[in-house]
Amino acid sequence: MFTLTPLPYAPEALEPVISARTLEFHHGKHLATYVKNLNAAIEGTPLAELPLEEIIKKSFADGQPAVFNNAGQVLNHNMYFEQFAAKPAASEPHGALKSALEAAFGTLEAFKSQFAAAGAGVFGSGWVWLQADSTGALSIAKYSGADNPVAHGLKPLLTFDVWEHAYYLDYQNRRPDYLAALWGIMDWNVVAGRL
Ligand code: MN
């Protein structure tokens, strides 16, 4: 049984970048529903004994969309909400993460710019991810629906949700404004811990 991971901050803590009202729906309704539907889809099956990442890989490989979509969305949202903070412990990448970003993208600004452009370019509902391959090399990728790096054997490091439910109450159709604002609440220590 999976449970709804509590937000690591108060609902109003991320305002004005993400409003309490958006979090109330996004975390309290959308994510809660993915958790509930995942539990219903795996109950009484061998998948119920596996960790979330294994459920994602197996349901992706076996073509079980009812399981995969909900499992993917639970992991995607947990990682999305966890990486933000009202007063981030680290407001910029540093150390090994900074070096890896500079190796892949040249500068931090170039990374942010390419990442936000990729997020703006996701057609319809999906996610933009910073991911690492088995050699530690970083790349940016667009994913549709619930898809994510875990399903493809890559390490998930940072993600921005571009489903409309993530930003419509606060930004309406202005997805690029939402993406640009998210940098202000990033806790880079959380991302570094995923390397
Ligand atoms: Mn979402």
The answer on pLDDT for 90 being more than 90 is: no
167 and 175 in contact (C-beta within 8 Å)? yes
157 CA to middle of ligand 1, Å?
A: 17
83 and 187 in contact (C-beta within 8 Å)? yes
174 CA to middle of ligand 1, Å?
A: 16
Grade residue 161 by pLDDT with cuts at 50, 70 and 90: very high
Residue 181 is predicted with a pLDDT of 98
What number of H helices and E strands is found in the chain? 9, 3
149 CA to middle of ligand 1, Å?
A: 16
Taking only the tens place, the pLDDT of each residue in 11-69 is 999 999 999 999 999 999 999 999 999 999 999 999 999 999 999 999 999 999 999 99
Q: Which two tokens stand for residue 34?
A: 């993915």
Measure the CA–CA gap between 52 and 58, rounded to whole angstroms: 10
Q: Of the CATH numbers 3.40.640.10, 3.55.40.20, 3.40.190.10, 3.30.70.1140, which one belongs to the domain with range 19-195?
A: 3.55.40.20
Measure the CA–CA gap between 179 and 4, rounded to whole angstroms: 25
151 CA to middle of ligand 1, Å?
A: 18
Residue bearing tokens 């539990």: 39
Query: What average pLDDT does the segment 1-13 reach?
Result: 97
Taking only the tens place, the pLDDT of each residue in 73-82 is 999 999 999 9
Task: For residue 171, give the nearest of 27, 11, 19 by alpha carbon.
Answer: 19
Residue 164 is predicted with a pLDDT of 98
